[in-house]
């Protein structure tokens, strides 16, 4: 008896499902995946079938690069891509969909009354600021369940590139300037997602730290810097969580496309780190498909007919060895056998969106960071009358744009969040913002897939108006919103406050202060912005990030004290952009302003499928001194340091004990809540290396842990284990990791 495949119709989607076929004469039947050895299945394939597996589904019909990117599947409309099936060999088509903040598929389908909304979870940066791997696993499980129930096989996430520079347009998808945090959070996300029986694609491998000219950028980096900073998050995540797939990145590394480097995709990833899965390209990544196959970039997505032709030719002419092709095909088949489609899972198209909304609200509140809270301005007094300023207060930004966006059913804005949590808002002010927004939005250009959200300028508020609102209300809340998205870095107005935003903060805070009332700033932003010039003015600042569809509720939870903030920064907020260690090597934020954000990208020559053809180098001249590794070593003053975040309570650290064995250092200590409200604390362990063999940062994060919710007076004993191997530095003279046999200093705190 053999298992074949039939295609049945469900609504408008086609599902490939196993069924029991009548017994056949084994000698004549084609081998079947999952029944017969993979080698037999490969041996039965024609060259065309092999190439069809290597090159994704887009190849059969894609002629237009821009139209296809991000939406080339048809089994699940709106999914980013598909791998091709070979029904005669029992190989189903599989579906690959974005992305890091939730599943990105179309929410409606033609001639179908049903909706396919997905939960918009918080951006990756916010999730990392929770420092809570258990919570991230929970978010991953909820997200993964939607992937499964909507009939997808792989979520193209998580994304764990290092925050090298605050201007990178996709930092919101990424986690941190620190490799340990980036790796641990990515590992937790993979574990959560894959617990649902679907796959992940850890991306973008590697050294993809800018969007400007992203498909032609050449990252020039030393082996030590690559190993210790940029590859480390991937190493941690691969070793801890074994993602089903890894996505190679667009950029070149030291002159060769990442997708064409066998030292990266085969020697390091598989032989050294033990990666067992499949590598796929980023969408239209790489240039030479033959080199990609040779390097171990098993699958090329979304696939293009020119790639099919080139690979087929090379095989037929004998320039691409068949054993290499078979090696990659085997990896693809091993992946396919794990998928829900291969297992015959029948998706319900009905995930529990209500439960997932609760998860995203909880996670969003846990990752918000309280930057300032003078005179206990927060939490707000119950039922306070609030004058709510800022256009994004009424139109909160749930996340970034591009492949990291999500088609959710709704987004809760801050006005709704505050009113539903029992605060009364100035109706007059709300009405004037609504009228203003309606008029301004009508003037905005249409958003295309590659543009960040077009935001309307801040509404001017005169001192007299601000004074009147101060008289009529108990306090002011001012939201500052900034947008970011795939395909473009952040420039002047996205890093600095605009004049209108500066003036709004100034006018409102001074009017409220004159009447002895407080003003709070809420930052609804995708990444680091300039804060040093204005932060003295408000009484409190809440860094809310972008919390997904429940952002308004999550902010209200923190402002009201229903949730005590416990998020801590996973990156540094510098005093000045010029202090950023990579600033002199990176795109300058003041080069492009206003509508000209994408000028650099637009004006470069492009090839037939829209990819930049210029030769652009990005020199990683700051080496391993990224973020706090530079500021702390040089003693540079920063606005808010890495690891920083306030709470409504206080904590004491006591009874530390340290023990060391041949494998690891074990640090144990007690954290006590010494304040008046329940709260959670993030403990961080840093190691200072002697640095006699090579330059070392002042200290480096080597471990962290978060307490449970501690009631006032309650304590918890935490343990942080630091593997000795993780203290080693990469010695370029021997191409190996080396640990100085000298005393290291351990520092810990929160
Ligand atoms: C992005 C990837 C994404 C892919 C599919 C690319 O443009 O870089 O992160 O997964 O598109 O949408």
Q: How far is the CA of 486 from the centre of ligand 1 (A)?
A: 8
pLDDT of res. 491: 81
Does the pLDDT value for residue 633 go beyond 50?
Answer: yes
- The confidence band for 68, taking pLDDT boundaries of 50, 70 and 90, is very low
Secondary structure string (H, E, C) spanning 35-52: CECHHHHHHCCCHHHHHH
Q: Which of 62, 98, 124 to mutate to test the pocket of ligand 1 (most atoms within 8 A of CB)?
A: 98
Copy the structure tokens of residue 301: 């997505």
Mean pLDDT (the chain) is 91
| Residue 695: partners with Cβ closer than 8 Å, 6 or more residues away | none
Give the number of the atom of ligand 1 that is nearest the alpha carbon of residue 70: 12
The phi and psi torsions of 688 (rounded to 5 degrees) equal: -100, 120
Q: Which of 156, 212, 258 to mutate to test the pocket of ligand 1 (most atoms within 8 A of CB)?
A: 156
Question: Which residue's alpha carbon is nearest to atom 2 within ligand 1?
Answer: 282
Contact between 161 and 210 under an 8 Å Cβ cutoff? The reply is: no
Rounded to an integer, the average pLDDT of 363-387 is: 97
Copy the structure tokens of residue 654: 């006591």
Q: How far is the CA of 588 from the centre of ligand 1 (A)?
A: 25
Does the pLDDT value for residue 609 go beyond 80?
Answer: no
Name the least confident of 338-347, 631-640, 737-746.
737-746
Percent of the chain with pLDDT over 90: 83
Secondary structure string (H, E, C) spanning 157-224: CCECCCCCCCCCCCHHHCCCCCHHHHHHHHHHHHHHHHCCCCEEEEEEECCCCCCCCCCCEEEECCHH
Copy the structure tokens of residue 674: 């010494």
Name the least confident of 343-347, 352-356, 594-598, 737-741.
594-598
Name the least confident of 25-34, 368-377, 637-646, 659-668.
25-34
Q: Which of 282, 285, 404 to mutate to test the pocket of ligand 1 (most atoms within 8 A of CB)?
A: 282
Q: How far is the CA of 285 from the centre of ligand 1 (A)?
A: 10
pLDDT of res. 351: 98
Does the pLDDT value for residue 15 go beyond 50?
Answer: no
Report how far residue 250's alpha carbon sits from residue 233's, in angstroms, rounded to the nearest whole number: 18
Does the pLDDT value for residue 713 go beyond 50?
Answer: yes
Q: Which of 208, 245, 402, 611 to mutate to test the pocket of ligand 1 (most atoms within 8 A of CB)?
A: 402
Name the least confident of 114-123, 211-220, 668-677.
211-220
The closest of 573, 574, 572, 567 to 704, measured between CA atoms, is: 567
Question: Which residue's alpha carbon is nearest to atom 5 within ligand 1?
Answer: 70
pLDDT of res. 28: 63
Label residue 180 exposed, middle or buried (CB < 10 Å: 0-12, 13-18, 19+).
Answer: buried
Does the pLDDT value for residue 65 go beyond 60?
Answer: no
pLDDT of res. 85: 93
**What's the full length of the chain, in residues?**
750
pLDDT one-digit tens code per residue, 406-457: 999 999 999 999 999 999 999 999 999 999 999 999 988 776 666 677 789 9
Rounded to an integer, the average pLDDT of 597-626 is: 63
pLDDT one-digit tens code per residue, 537-547: 999 999 999 99
pLDDT of res. 309: 95
Rounded to an integer, the average pLDDT of 126-153 is: 98
Give the number of the atom of ligand 1 that is nearest the alpha carbon of residue 71: 12
Rounded to an integer, the average pLDDT of 262-281 is: 98
pLDDT of res. 1: 27
pLDDT of res. 59: 40
Name residues contacting ligand 1 (CB within 6 A).
69-70, 80, 98-99, 156, 203, 282-283, 403
pLDDT of res. 67: 34
Among the residues of 515-635, which ranges form H helices? 551-560, 599-602, 628-634
pLDDT of res. 596: 39
Copy the structure tokens of residue 738: 């080396």
- The confidence band for 617, taking pLDDT boundaries of 50, 70 and 90, is confident
Q: How far is the CA of 431 from the centre of ligand 1 (A)?
A: 39
Q: How far is the CA of 250 from the centre of ligand 1 (A)?
A: 10
Does the pLDDT value for residue 593 go beyond 50?
Answer: no
pLDDT one-digit tens code per residue, 520-570: 999 999 999 999 999 999 999 999 999 999 999 999 999 999 999 999 999
pLDDT of res. 612: 52
Q: How far is the CA of 12 from the centre of ligand 1 (A)?
A: 26
Q: How far is the CA of 211 from the centre of ligand 1 (A)?
A: 12
Secondary structure string (H, E, C) spanning 424-489: EECHHHHHHHHHHHHHHHCCCCCCCCCCCCCCCCCCCCCHHHHHHHHHHCCEEEEEEECCCECCCC
Alpha-carbon distances, residue 100 vs 157, 171, 233, 326, 681 (angstroms): 5, 12, 16, 31, 26
Question: Which residue's alpha carbon is nearest to atom 12 within ligand 1?
Answer: 70
Report how far residue 349's alpha carbon sits from residue 365's, in angstroms, rounded to the nearest whole number: 28
Question: Which residue's alpha carbon is nearest to atom 9 within ligand 1?
Answer: 403
Report how far residue 32's alpha carbon sits from residue 83's, in angstroms, rounded to the nearest whole number: 18
- pTM, to two decimals: 0.93
Copy the structure tokens of residue 447: 């958003």
Is the link from the previous residue into 458 a cis peptide, with omega within 30 of 0? no
- The confidence band for 589, taking pLDDT boundaries of 50, 70 and 90, is low
Rounded to an integer, the average pLDDT of 683-689 is: 96
Per the model's pLDDT, the better-predicted residue between 308 and 614 turns out to be 308
Give the number of the atom of ligand 1 that is nearest the alpha carbon of residue 250: 8
Per the model's pLDDT, the better-predicted residue between 496 and 12 turns out to be 496
- The confidence band for 60, taking pLDDT boundaries of 50, 70 and 90, is very low
Tokens 């499980």, located at residue = 141
Give the number of the atom of ligand 1 that is nearest the alpha carbon of residue 98: 10
Active site residues: 282
Rounded to an integer, the average pLDDT of 87-104 is: 95
- The confidence band for 360, taking pLDDT boundaries of 50, 70 and 90, is very high
Q: How far is the CA of 515 from the centre of ligand 1 (A)?
A: 51
- The confidence band for 590, taking pLDDT boundaries of 50, 70 and 90, is low
pLDDT of res. 608: 52
Rounded to an integer, the average pLDDT of 299-319 is: 95
Report how far residue 279's alpha carbon sits from residue 548's, in angstroms, rounded to the nearest whole number: 29
Q: What is the DSSP string of 653-701?
A: EEEEEEEE-SSEEEEEEEEEE-SSS-B--EEEEEEE---SSS---S-EE
pLDDT one-digit tens code per residue, 504-520: 999 999 999 999 999 99
Per the model's pLDDT, the better-predicted residue between 73 and 327 turns out to be 327
Give the number of the atom of ligand 1 that is nearest the alpha carbon of residue 487: 7
493 three-class SS: helix
Alpha-carbon distances, residue 282 vs 93, 157, 293 (angstroms): 19, 12, 14
């Amino acid at each position: 008896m053999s298992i074949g495949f039939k295609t049945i119709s469900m609504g408008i989607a086609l599902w490939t499902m196993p069924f029991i076929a009548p017994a056949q004469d084994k000698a004549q039947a084609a081998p079947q995946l999952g029944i017969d050895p993979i080698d037999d299945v490969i041996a039965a394939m024609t060259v065309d079938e092999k190439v069809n597996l290597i090159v994704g589904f887009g190849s059969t019909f894609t002629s237009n690069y821009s139209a296809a990117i991000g939406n080339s599947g048809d089994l699940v409309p709106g999914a980013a891509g598909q791998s091709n099936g070979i029904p005669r060999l029992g190989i189903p088509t599989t579906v690959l969909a974005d992305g890091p903040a939730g599943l990105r598929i179309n929410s409606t389908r033609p001639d179908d009354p049903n909706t396919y909304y997905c939960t918009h979870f918080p951006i990756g940066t916010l999730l990392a600021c929770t420092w809570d791997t258990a919570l991230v696993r929970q978010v991953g499980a909820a997200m993964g369940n939607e992937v499964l129930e909507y009939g997808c096989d792989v979520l193209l996430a998580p994304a764990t590139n290092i925050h090298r520079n605050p201007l990178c347009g996709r930092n919101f998808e990424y986690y941190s300037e620190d490799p340990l945090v980036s790796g641990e959070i990515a590992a937790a996300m993979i574990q959560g997602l894959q617990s649902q029986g679907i796959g992940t694609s850890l991306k973008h491998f590697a050294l993809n730290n800018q969007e400007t000219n992203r498909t032609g950028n050449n990252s020039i980096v030393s082996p030590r810097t690559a190993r210790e900073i940029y590859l480390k998050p991937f190493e941690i995540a691969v070793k801890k969580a074994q993602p089903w797939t890894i996505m190679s990145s667009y950029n070149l590394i030291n002159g060769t496309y990442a997708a064409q480097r066998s030292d990266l995709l085969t020697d390091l990833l598989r032989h050294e780190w033990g990666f067992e899965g499949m590598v796929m390209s980023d969408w239209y990544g790489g240039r030479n498909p033959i080199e990609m196959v040779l390097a171990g970039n098993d699958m090329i997505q979304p696939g293009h007919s020119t790639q099919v032709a080139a690979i087929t030719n090379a095989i037929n002419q004998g320039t691409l060895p068949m054993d290499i092709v078979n090696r990659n095909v085997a990896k693809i088949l091993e992946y396919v056998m794990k998928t829900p489609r291969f297992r015959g899972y029948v998706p319900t198209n009905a995930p529990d969106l209500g439960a997932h909304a609760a998860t995203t609200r909880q996670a969003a509140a846990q990752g918000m960071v309280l930057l300032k809270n003078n005179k206990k301005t927060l939490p707000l007094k119950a039922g306070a009358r609030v004058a709510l300023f800022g256009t994004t207060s009424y139109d909160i930004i749930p996340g970034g744009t591009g492949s990291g966006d999500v088609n959710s059913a709704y987004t809760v804005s801050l006005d709704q969040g505050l009113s539903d949590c029992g605060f009364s808002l100035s109706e007059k002010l709300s009405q004037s913002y609504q009228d203003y927004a309606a008029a301004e939005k009508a003037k905005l250009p249409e958003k295309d897939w590659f543009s960040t959200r077009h935001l309307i300028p801040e509404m001017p508020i005169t001192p007299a108006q601000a004074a009147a609102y101060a008289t009529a209300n108990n306090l002011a809340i001012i939201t500052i919103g900034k947008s970011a998205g795939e395909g473009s870095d952040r420039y002047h107005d996205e890093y600095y406050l605009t004049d209108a935003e500066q003036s709004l903060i100034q006018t409102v805070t001074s009017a409220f202060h004159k009447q002895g009332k407080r003003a709070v700033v809420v930052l609804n932003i995708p990444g680091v912005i300039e804060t040093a010039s204005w932060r003295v003015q408000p009484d409190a600042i809440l860094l809310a990030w972008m919390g997904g569809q429940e952002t308004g509720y999550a902010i209200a939870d923190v402002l009201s004290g229903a949730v005590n903030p416990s998020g801590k920064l996973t990156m540094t907020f510098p005093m000045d952009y010029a202090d950023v260690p990579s600033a002199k090597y990176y795109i300058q934020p003041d080069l492009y302003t206003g509508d000209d954000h994408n000028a650099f990208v637009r004006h470069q020559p492009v090839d037939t499928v829209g990819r930049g053809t210029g030769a652009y180098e990005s020199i990683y001249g700051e080496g391993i001194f990224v973020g706090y590794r530079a500021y702390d070593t040089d003693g540079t003053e920063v606005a808010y340091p890495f690891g920083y975040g306030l709470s409504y309570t206080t904590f004491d650290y006591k009874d530390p004990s340290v023990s060391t064995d041949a494998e690891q250092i074990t640090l144990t200590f007690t954290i006590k809540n010494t304040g008046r409200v329940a709260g959670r604390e993030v403990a961080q362990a840093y190691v200072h290396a002697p640095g006699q063999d090579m330059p070392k940062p002042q200290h480096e994060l080597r471990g962290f842990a978060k307490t449970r919710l501690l009631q006032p007076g309650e304590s918890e004993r935490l343990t942080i284990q630091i593997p000795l191997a993780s203290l080693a530095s990469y010695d370029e003279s021997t191409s190996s990791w080396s640990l100085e046999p000298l005393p290291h200093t351990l520092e810990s705190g929160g």
